[in-house]
C-alpha cells in the first residue's frame, strides 16, 4: 500500500517525506505550491480547506497537520522505532515537543512568513513579522534549554522529533531578522547530527547544495 503526500520544496511536507524514507514505505508525491498567490488544486482544498501541506493520503483516507501525521506514521510502523511506544515513559516528552514545535515554533514562523493572517491591515503586517521573529527567539530558546546536553531530543534515543527539529531549523532566515540556528547550540548540535542521514541527504539535496553555495 503506497502513501501519497501533497508536497512542495521548502514546506513542512519535507519532514514527512524524510519520515517516509526512514520507514521505507512506498510513497508518491503530489506536487503543489506554498506560494501566497499560488493556485491550490481543488482536490487539495477538498482534503484541507486551509490550503496547507502536508496532507497524507492512504487507502481511502487523508489527514493533515504535520505533527499528527508524524505520530500516525510512527505508530503505524512501530518496527522502525521512530517514536516511543504508548506505554514508554518518554512518550510524554515526544508528544510534548512535537506539539510545541507545531503549535508554538511553527506559529512564530507563520507570523513572519504569512503576516496577513495575523495583522488586521497591511500596515500592521511589519509589526506582526517583528513579533514573529521575537517569538522565534523565545520558543527556540525554550527548546534549546530543554535539550541541554542531550544527544537527541529524547536523550540517547534518535526519534522522529529530531527529524522535525531539523526541518524547522532549515526555515530560519537571519536575513529576514530571524535568529540564526547558531544562537541555539543544543538545537544546532542535533540538526547537524540529523543532516548526514541518507533520508535527509536525499530529500534535502537542493537545500544542502544551496547552503553550500552560500545562498
Ligand atoms: N499546522 C500545519 C501548518 C502547515 C504549514 O504551515 N504549511 C505551509 C508550508 S510549510 C503551507 O502549506 N503554506 C501555504 C499556505 O499557508 O497557504 C502543519 O503543521 O501541518
Q: Would you state the pLDDT for residue 126?
A: 96
**Residues β-bridged to residue 31:** 7
Statement: residue 54 has pLDDT above 90? yes
Superfamily name with CATH number, domain 3-80: Glutaredoxin (3.40.30.10)
34 Cα to the center of ligand 1, angstroms: 8
Q: Would you state the pLDDT for residue 214?
A: 78
Q: Cβ of 100: how many Cβ atoms within 10 Å?
A: 17
CB within 8 Å of 66: residues ≥ 6 apart: 12, 13, 15, 16, 54, 102, 164
Mean pLDDT of 74-96: 97
Q: Which of 5, 6, 12 to mutate to test the pocket of ligand 1 (most atoms within 8 A of CB)?
A: 12
CA 56/CA 77 separation, integer angstroms: 15
pLDDT in tens, 15-37: 999 999 999 999 999 999 998 88
With pLDDT > 70 as the criterion, what percentage of the chain qualifies?
Answer: 99
Statement: residue 198 has pLDDT above 70? yes
Closest ligand 1 atom, residue 8 Cα: 9
Joined together, the cell numbers standing for residue 203 give 530529500
> pLDDT band at residue 165, thresholds of 50, 70 and 90?
very high
Range(s) for CATH 3.40.30.10 in the chain? 3-80
Query: Among candidates 106, 112, 196, which has minimal Cα distance to 143?
Result: 106
> pLDDT band at residue 101, thresholds of 50, 70 and 90?
very high
Range(s) for CATH 1.20.1050.10 in the chain? 91-212
pLDDT in tens, 117-126: 999 999 999 9
Statement: residue 1 has pLDDT above 70? no
> pLDDT band at residue 215, thresholds of 50, 70 and 90?
low
Closest ligand 1 atom, residue 52 Cα: 12
Tell me the backbone φ, ψ of residue 163, rounded to 5 degrees.
-65, -45
78 Cα to the center of ligand 1, angstroms: 26
- Give the CATH fold of the 91-212 domain: Glutathione S-transferase Yfyf (Class Pi); Chain A, domain 2 (1.20.1050)
Statement: residue 104 has pLDDT above 70? yes
Amino acid at each position: 500500500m503506497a502513501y501519497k503526500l501533497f508536497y512542495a520544496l521548502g514546506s513542512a511536507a519535507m519532514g514527512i517525506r524524510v519520515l517516509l524514507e526512514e520507514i521505507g514505505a512506498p510513497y508518491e508525491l503530489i506536487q503543489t505550491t506554498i506560494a501566497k498567490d499560488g493556485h491550490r488544486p481543488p482536490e487539495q482544498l477538498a482534503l484541507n480547506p486551509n490550503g496547507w501541506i502536508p496532507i497524507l493520503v492512504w487507502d481511502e483516507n487523508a489527514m493533515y497537520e504535520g505533527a499528527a501525521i508524524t505520530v500516525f506514521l510512527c505508530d503505524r510502523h512501530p518496527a522502525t522505532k521512530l517514536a516511543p511506544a504508548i506505554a514508554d515513559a518518554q512518550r510524554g516528552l515526544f508528544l510534548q515537543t512535537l506539539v510545541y514545535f507545531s503549535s508554538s515554533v511553527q506559529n512564530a514562523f507563520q507570523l513572519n512568513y504569512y503576516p496577513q493572517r495575523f495583522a488586521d491591515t497591511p500596515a500592521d503586517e511589519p509589526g506582526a513579522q517583528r513579533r514573529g521573529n521575537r517569538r522565534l527567539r523565545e520558543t527556540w530558546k525554550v527548546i534549546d534549554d530543554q535539550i541541554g546536553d542531550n544527544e537527541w531530543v529524547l536523550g540517547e534515543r534518535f526519534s522522529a522529533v529530531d527529524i522535525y527539529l531539523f526541518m524547522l531549523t532549515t526555515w530560519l532566515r537571519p536575513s529576514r531578522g530571524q535568529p540564526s540556528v547558531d544562537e541555539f547550540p543544543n538545537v544546532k548540535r542535533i540538526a547537524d547530527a540529523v543532516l548526514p542521514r541518507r533520508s535527509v541527504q536525499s530529500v534535502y539535496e537542493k537545500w544542502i547544495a544551496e547552503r553550500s553555495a552560500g545562498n
